Amino acid sequence: MIFSIDRESLVDALISASRALSNKTPMPILTGVKLDVDYDKVTITTSNSDISMQVVISNSHLKVEKTGSHVIPGRFFIEIAKKIKAETVEITVVDDNLINIKAGQSDFTLNGMEKELYPEITFNTLNNPIILKDEELRSIIYQTNFATSVLENRPILTGVLFDINGHKLRAVATDSYRLSQKEIELNISNDLKQIVIPHRTLEELSRLLTSNEKIEMFIADNKVIFKHKNVMFQSRLLEGRFPETNKLIPTEFPVEISFNKNELIGAIERASLLYQGGKDNIVKLQLKDDGNAIITSHSSEIGKVIEEITPTHIECNGEFIIAFSAKYVMESLRVFESSDITMFFTGVVKPFIIKGELDEGMLQLVLPVRVE
């Protein structure tokens, strides 16, 4: 294997591929970067068993003298590529399993890894992919992924449901205490498919989505593949039945209250400052007779907080008071692009939802807290 490539292309490809590089694994070979060199391209493969990536370099700067496949220790290879200063990098395999890296006045030789031990990873794509826009997929991940469960007792809830039916894609995440849902319209009609993609997969995928180009999504058996420019990103899917969440979303709302989003976040944040009960800091929202609202929090050991805030719109008959987790509501509010949001209530112990005028197809649902 002998080839040269411009450093910038190599570094960009390695940084992308490093998202699937394993640090600690029962398979030490997965700490390596696999290079497959053909006369017209170099293919970089990484995997940590859960996610796998393939990045192809094919440009006028690539000069291949000899093809071949080898596995290079990933961490050292990436750091070398990032630190060297020369514009061109030459990589040569000598004595069958020593990888020589030359760049300007720098000369490194790394012990190669046993390529025969590297698992066979296929990135087979099918016909009729689901086409998404870069910004659509970014918004789906940003507005749903935070609501997945961090507990492993129900593994299916640690991922986001992608429910595809015709021209509609519905993404849903829930940890049983809150729910985030985002719907988008697809340009091409697709067959009914339901998959659950792990939280970490979507977190890593979102870091790759930096352009406004289209994304192709392929679903096959127990895996999903995203194709984005010269990158193939593959992940296992979570097994199990995702709960039927449509039945959890209320449709009738006797109480509707609208707020400026940032003012509401600030009021809830300040009201929860004195709470020492851990992450589930509980605050109360109460409507006053004068049309204003107060958000309160009380700690018997420290004191209490009263925050007054003026709603931009109210529909309510009589007194209304409800308690909820400040953390859950603030996290839900922060993913809205709208400057004004509306909270829709069905009762003091029933789930309420939050919507924003500019956030078409997106809603957040939070379970209230029963307090004395």
CA angle (160, 203, 14) in 5-degree steps: 140
Domain 2-117 -> CATH class: alpha beta
Report yes or no: 32 and 118 within 8 Å, Cβ to Cβ. Answer: yes
Q: What is the 3-state secondary structure (H, E, C) of the chain?
A: CEEEEEHHHHHHHHHHHHHHCCCCCCCHHHHEEEEEECCCCEEEEEECCCEEEEEEECCCCCEEEECEEEEEEHHHHHHHHHHCCCCEEEEEEECCCEEEEEECCEEEEEECECHHHCCCCCCCCCCCCEEEEHHHHHHHHHHHHHHCCCCCCCHHHHEEEEEEEEEEEEEEEECCCEEEEEEEEEEEEEEEEEEEEEHHHHHHHHHHCCCCCEEEEEEECCEEEEEECCEEEEEECCCCCCCCCHHHCCCCCCEEEEEEHHHHHHHHHHHCCCCCCCCCCEEEEEECCCCCEEEEEEECCCEEEEEEECCCEEECCCCCEEEEEHHHHHHHHHCCCCCEEEEEECCCCCCEEEEECCCCCEEEEECCCCCC
CB burial of 111-145 (b: ≥16 within 10 Å; e: otherwise) equals ebbebeebeebebeeeeebbebbbebbbbbbbbbb
Q: Quick one: pLDDT band at residue 201, thresholds 50, 70, 90?
A: very high
Q: What's the rounded Cα separation, in Å, for the pair 166 and 179?
A: 23
Model confidence at 26, in pLDDT bands (50, 70, 90)?
confident
Q: Is 55 a residue whose pLDDT tops 90?
A: yes
Class for the domain spanning 249-366: alpha beta
Q: Are the folds of 2-117 and 130-247 the same?
A: yes
Q: Does the pLDDT of residue 278 top 70, yes or no?
A: no
**CATH number of this structure's domain 130-247:** 3.10.150.10
Domain boundaries, given as residue ranges, for the chain:
2-117, 130-247, 249-366
So what's the pLDDT on residue 68? 95
Confidence tier at 317 by pLDDT (50, 70, 90): confident
Residue 280 pLDDT grade (very low, low, confident, very high; cuts 50, 70, 90) = low
pTM attached to this predicted model: 0.91
| 259 band by pLDDT with thresholds 50, 70 and 90 | very high
What mean pLDDT, rounded, does the chain reach? 92
Of 24-33, 204-213, 273-282, the range with the lowest mean pLDDT is 273-282
Q: Could you give the CA distance from residue 17 to residue 30 in angstroms, rounded to a whole number?
A: 12
| pLDDT (tens digit per residue) in 134-184 | 999 999 999 999 999 999 889 999 999 999 999 999 999 999 999 999 999
- Judge contact between 246 and 300, C-beta under 8 A: no
